[in-house]
Structure 1
Amino acid sequence: MKKERKTKKKHCNNSATGFINITNHGYAFVYIKEFKKDIFIPKNKTNKALEGDLVKIRFYNSKGIKMEGEVLKIIKRKTKQFIGILKLNVPHYDKFGRVHSNNLHVDILVPIQKLEKCYHNNKVLVQIISWPKKFKNPLGKIVKVFGASGEYKTEVFSLLEEYGISYKFSPKMENEAKQIFYKEILDINFRRDMRNVNTFTIDPLDAKDFDDALSIRKLSNDTWEIGVHISDVSHYIKEGSLLDKEAYSRATSIYFVGKVIPMLPKILSNDLCSLQPKKDKLSFSYIFNIDSKGKILKNWFGKTIIRSDRKFTYDEVQSIIDQKKGDYYEDIYTLFSFSKILTQNRLKNGSIYIEKVEVRFHLDEKNNPISLYLEKNNDAHHLIEEFMLLTNRKISEFVSLNLDGRLSNKLYIYRVHDEPDYQKIFLIKKIIEPLGYFLDLKNLKTSINHLLKQTRGKPEQNMIENLILRAMSKAKYSIKNIGHYGLSFIHYSHFTSPIRRYSDIIAHRLLYYYLTENTKGKNKNKLNPIEFYERQSQYCSYKERLAIDVEREFLKYMQVKYMKKFIGKEFDGIITGFTDWSVFIDLLLFQTEGMVRLRDIEEDSYILNSNNYSIIGKKKRKIYQIGDKVKVKLVDINMEKKQIILDWIANI
């Protein structure tokens, strides 16, 4: 039989190229377009390939047996540089230090004599220089040392390196920023002067850059003028300049717990462009008249000069709303009343209302997390959110529509959001029904909002919100407008955060072009080709996803570091997902996810059901499913893998 099988393989082998995915156990899979299933590569047939490499393989097409193969040749390495943790004094490896990377199935060996300034458990950037035939491991050299693994600075800068994110501005760029800072402003006479109108900013307590400000004045018994003033970053950052190229390269600011990696140098982001109080500031504004019923009577878009009277925090504004007194109470309460009307209209129009709770930390002087709290958006947050949403929508409509309401076919950068993945929505429906909830697929948006309202304050709230978010398409930037599904807006753009988003700078430049295209001598710029803006849109979308991933990974590091002090403690949790080997559990007190290994559940031997959202005991046939409440014990944390290891106690 063995001979027959070998012969069969020999006669049926083929070769192909593809990218290899290697598991931590050493075996691998290669995706080939022509086949439904990946080609399995045994541990001893990977032929020194590493995760993500482009490889040439030979595969055996045997009936009744899974497609197997072997790596013949490495066509191109994905990378030769990896971030990992240096281990010294490893038994049997006295001549080498070992660098362990979570992204590799093998450690990289570095000769001891080349490790003079390196210490055990340092996080390092290592480069593979060779892989001798007789060696099981590749040889490498240390390119950079980040510091002791697990320390704040080490984790920040190693993550930035891993994701290829620039965090320093060159002296040339800093010099260009200084020149902009000291340059005289020449176009004040062309701007609408709003300095005599009550104006203020509302931001988080620790905010350094103030993108937006609100102004309000009463025009008559039934009419108010409201101004949404956005920092005029495009006035300072000229297209094609050194700083413009750097801002585009970064595309977004990145917000870590306790640290910001800005898109623009601080002299601009925190000073010149920031709408600080008691200073004349240049802005790009949407100003409109509104009546007491919330009907917008008149719109105006253009460049302004403002002078903010006061810098408010969200908590200060919330206190004024609650107590009905304080600085600018009448103005703030009027804006709050209008924001409520805007919210009601948006929800009536089919907007999905997800109110996520954010995990926040209080830090000590070394940026170690000392306490955790859950921050929920309050009325002050909603006030700002509604006026920013309105501005983004109205500006998009202004460019996209003629006065008669027909499409203008003008080029613009849109924030678009496609319909959700209905297979995932159907899966949510199946998961939540045993929990007593329902989704009407024919009236999905209303049904989702009803579900979110039903679960508010319940243990399963966070899990269900996350399921809905995962089912939703990812919002992105494009010049092809398909509307925004989640907000139920036909026209929508990002305009209100140009200090931290390059997409908004593009939106500012295009709007200014349209506002001045018929003005002699004022509009010297020309539009770039359509392809240029679509390419920029795609790049901004890509960099946004990258920023979200790196921020999420760093938050997980902070959560794991904080949870270390609770080892041995018991907590209530809710099951959020399964794999073949583990159960994921949301620790309700912290809204932090941990895992229990299936093999560690002592009451029975559990296996994953074919539906992938429940497990079943082999002996007692007891079933646990997503949404079930359980009690667990925190037994360990793994800083390297950013994992919280739990022990199963009982279901609640």
Structure 2
Amino acid sequence: MMSKKNKTVTSPKKPKKGKTPSGEGRQINRRDILRVARLVFEENEGRVLNYKQVCYAFGKTNMGQKRAIYQALVEMAETGEIEQVEPGRFIRGGARTARLEGRFDYRGGHPSFIPDDPELEPMPLSERALSTALHGDRVAVSFVKNRRGEYKRLQITDILERRPATYVGSLQLARGYAFFVTLNKELRQDVFIPEDKTLGATSRDKVLIRITGWDPKSKNPRGEVIDVLGQSGDNTTEMHAILAEFGLPYSYPEEVERAAEALSEAITEEELQHREDFRGVLTCTIDPKDAKDFDDALSFRQLPDGLYEVGVHIADVSHYVQPGSIIDDEAYKRATSVYLVDRTIPMLPERLSNFLCSLRPDEDKYAYSCIFQLDEGANLRSARIARTVIRSQRRFTYEEAQEIIDTGHGDHAEAILSLHRLAQQLRARRFGRGSIAFDRPEVRFELDETGKPIAVQIKESKPAHQLIEEFMLLANRTVAERIAEPGRRDITPAITVKGKPAFVYRIHEAPDEEKLRSLADFVHRFGYRLKTEGGAEAIAKSLNQLLTDIKGRPEEDMLTMLAIRSMAKARYTTAHIGHYGLGFASYTHFTSPIRRYPDLMVHRLLTRYLIEGKPSVDASSLEDQCDHASDMESLAATAERASIKYKQVEYMIPRLGEKFSGVITGLADWGIYVELEENKCEGLVPARDLSDDYYVYDETNFRLVGRHTGRTFSLGDKVEIVVAQADLARKQLDFALAEELEDKRSTVRRPARRY
């Protein structure tokens, strides 16, 4: 058997060296091709194979040889020896065995089949071929013959495994039953709900349902309501609906809460014997003013030899949350806290996140710490990782810390100013070594007591934020280096585990070359340059120069967004690849175990390798956990964006008809996306509303072009718009160009005056 990626194709044994006519650079005659191809299809009876899989049986082949093999397969199909189910794919065994397995995809209302075989491309499906499949189901498909006996169409023949999914929407009630309707395009039919499965929901409520079955003889699937979220339009209902839409929890199981309440808060003498005591060292937290979970603190003292000792102290969640416990199981399932506009959905129960583990002032707390010795130039002289007990003397908000940095006065000003100076030196050195300076402003809403947005604030990174950021980055990098580079003597303690043990890394891969070239071509139209060659550090420096050059320019937000989109997504893995965006060869997440499960995993692994000296954990199992954490992180980020979009639309409802200035941030056949300068809300100017011409999207040059007038709309252009519609249900804003409305008003014929 030969395995390639995740597929297995049985291939005949290759002839001994000197006996085979195949191989790169050698002629393959038709007789040999037919002989080997027949053996491949014979040993893979009933399987659809593409010509590349047949080529694999010949060893390494060049393009000329591949063409010869493909042509021979076509000839075999013409003689009826095998059948070509579609261009490039062949089968031996007939219609009953022409079967593939994979996943049904219905995102956006476009049905397709995603084969399990990674060598095969996704295949479109017609609506009549879907049977009772639902988005995400594992299915089997067969090729269906047309009247001429050719395989021309795929048909779903079996539902192999139903995807456990829930949907958010509302009910249309009738006597004795109801139908569930939703804006979710993954669901292609309304769902029939028996009256006794509605949980008493009304047509004004938002509900969460699950599919219970779909009889092939029925037009609609059947389902049941599993939760009534509340009345549509209510703030809590809508926030819970966003969470439920992405399969994220919006409440905590009572049994988990009870388990958390049973945990002891005592600081015991027995435990203190295994920890370094930092309770006498100046320690403080710096967080947002509304924060409740303080998971990191900084300690500071000047040493007699002129060095500075900076401790990065992280809540020791691993002391309280034991592997396999009910709290741990729930935390793993969630994998992350979720931050919506008006609330936090914590990974851990409130007793842990806000009390036991929160590094609150004037309370003794267990911590996992990185303690650094730095010189005047912020050069790292030594680092050690230790379990500690700390006592924070002061809780600063970012605003308070920033005031000390600006004025030089305030509580513990000398320590704050020293930490600020060291952080800025670390920051400058980081960017000098290739870290990329992405700094997009964040949107924050001021809400009234009912949760309605009354103001929008644009939050920007200030030196107080950078102070915390730089020391957290230093701690994360140091922890990763301790495991990835066990020979380092400037980081203690040493690893006693043989080899390089499996570990959780936070990686960010280099950008795709094609995307980078596209970005370089595009920014060139604005008069900027971007290197695409010369190594990672040179490209990063060029990208930083671009971000500096566009600062304050009209195209800044749009080009920054495009640059971010050209980057790969950061993720968790056991592979030691490094972090391109930060310019670090080793990096992990260590500093937020209250809100991120991978950080808790890192704490446990540190204890296992540095303190207990146990052998490495199983890498494959750890990788599965990393994949789960990455997936949940992505879901949480999507839910956060959805909540921001909802509040943006809600904020703009009272502003219908008002004029705003904006920048074009996106273009498509269906219209122009505009981001408002004042509040960063984004909406669409539909192409159908551009009445002066018929506009065509020029994808190469990122612009809409009028077919008759030649007028263009390009990315980065400034426009004046009027808010035309605000659809809360779809989280969608529609804009109209102000000039269009003015033109229409000026052409309205006024009635003649009567005297």
* Fold conserved between structures, TM > 0.5: yes
Question: Which position in structure 2 is the counterpart of 1:7?
Answer: none
SS of equivalent residue, structure 2 residue 723: strand
Aligned to 1:336, the other structure's residue is in SS state helix
C-alpha contact 1:630 1:650 (8 A) present in aligned 2? no
2:37 aligns to what?
A: none
Find the partner of 1:592 among 681, 686, 691.
681
Q: Does 1:444 align with 2:539?
A: yes
Structure 1 stretch displaced more, 343-352 or 557-566: 557-566
Contact 1:19 1:31 in 2 (8 A): yes
CA shift, 1:645, in A, is 1.2
Partner residue in 1 for 2:728:
639
Q: Deviations over 1:160-207 (max 9, x none)?
A: 333333344434333332232345523113322211211110000111
**Residues 311-338 of structure 1, C-alpha deviation per residue, up to 9 Å, x if partnerless?**
0000110111111111111110010000
User: 1:6 matched to which residue of 2?
Assistant: none
Q: Aligned pair 1:477/2:568, yes or no?
A: no
| Alignment match of 1:400 (pick from 467, 476, 484) | 484
Q: Deviations over 1:272-304 (max 9, x none)?
A: 111110111111111122221222223222122
Name 2:46's counterpart in structure 1.
Answer: none
Is the Cα–Cα contact under 8 Å of residues 265 and 356 in structure 2 kept in the other structure? no
Counterpart residue type for residue 380 of structure 1? A
The answer to whether 1:424 aligns with 2:515 is yes
> Which of 77, 82, 85 is residue 170 of structure 2 equivalent to?
85
Deviates more, 1:595-604 or 1:140-149: 140-149
- The structural deviation recorded for 1:85 is 2.7
Question: Counterparts of 2:607 and 2:428 in 1: how far apart (Å)?
Answer: 31
Structure 1 range deviating more: 274-283 or 404-413: 404-413
Partner residue, 2:642 = 553
For residues 139-150 of structure 1, the aligned pairs below 5 Å read 140-150=223-233
- TM-score of the pair, normalised by structure 2: 0.77
1:105-133 C-alpha deviation (Å, 9 max, x unpaired): 43334467876833334222234456678
Q: TM-score, normalised by structure 1?
A: 0.88
- Structure 1 gap segments, 5+ residues each: 1-9, 519-524
Q: Residue 620 of structure 2 corresponds to which residue in structure 1? A: 531
In structure 2, distance between residues paired with 1:346 and 1:431 = 27
CA distance in 2: counterparts of 1:59 and 1:606, whole angstroms: 40
Question: After superposition, where does 1:120-159 map in structure 2 within 5 Å?
Answer: 120-128=203-211, 137-138=220-221, 140-159=223-242
Contact 1:100 1:108 in 2 (8 A): no
Question: Structure 1 residues 106 and 497 mapped into 2: Cα distance closer, same or farther (>3 Å)?
Answer: same
Structure 2: which amino acid aligns with 1:181?
Answer: S
The 3 A distance-change label for structure 1 pair 80 and 453 is closer
Deviation at 1:16, TM superposition (A): 4.8
The residue that corresponds to 2:341 in the other structure is 257
User: What are the residue-to-residue correspondences of 1:196-595 with 2, within 5 Å?
Assistant: 196-220=280-304, 222-401=306-485, 402-403=487-488, 409-442=500-533, 443-517=538-612, 527-595=616-684
Distance of 2:407 and 2:118 partners within structure 1: 66
Quick check: 1:56–1:74 contact (8 Å CA) kept in 2? no
SS of the counterpart of 2:583?
coil
CA offset at residue 385 of structure 1? Answer: 0.2
Q: 1:626 to 1:266 in 2, by over 3 A?
A: same
- From the superposition, tell whether residues 98 and 173 of structure 1 become closer, same or farther in structure 2 (CA, over 3 Å): closer
Sort the Cα spacing of 1:114 and 1:534 in 2 relative to 1 into closer, same or farther, 3 A. closer
Report the Cα offset of residue 445 of structure 1: 0.5
Amino acid at match of 2:183: S
The letter for the 2-side match of 1:56 is V
Q: Say which one has the larger Rg.
A: 2
- Structure 2 vs 1, CA of residues 648 and 229 (structure 1 numbering), >3 Å: closer, same or farther? same
* Alignment partners' CA distance in 2, 1:62 and 1:422: 46
Instruction: Indicate the residue corresponding to 1:56 in structure 2.
Output: 141
The Cα of 1:580 is off from its aligned counterpart by 3.0
Aligned length: 631
Matching residue's letter, 1:639: L
- Shift of the 385–184 alpha-carbon distance from structure 1 to 2, 3 Å rule, reads closer
- Of 238-247 and 334-343, the range deviating more from structure 2: 238-247
RMSD (CA atoms): 3.2
Cα shift at 1:573:
1.9
For 1:488 and 1:261, the matched residues in 2 are separated by 32
Q: Distance in 1 between matches of 2:346 and 2:107?
A: 36
Distance 2:529 2:575 in 1: 34
Q: Which residue of 1 aligns with 2:52?
A: none
Q: Could you tell me which amino acid in structure 1 is paired with residue 609 of structure 2?
A: Y
Question: How far apart are residue 144 of structure 1 and its match?
Answer: 2.5
Instruction: Provide, for residues 539-589 of structure 1, a one-character-per-residue CA deviation record: whole Å limited to 9, x for no partner.
Output: 222221222122222222222222222211122222222333232222222
Tell me: CA distance 1:74–1:412, structure 2 relative to 1, closer, same or farther (3 Å). closer
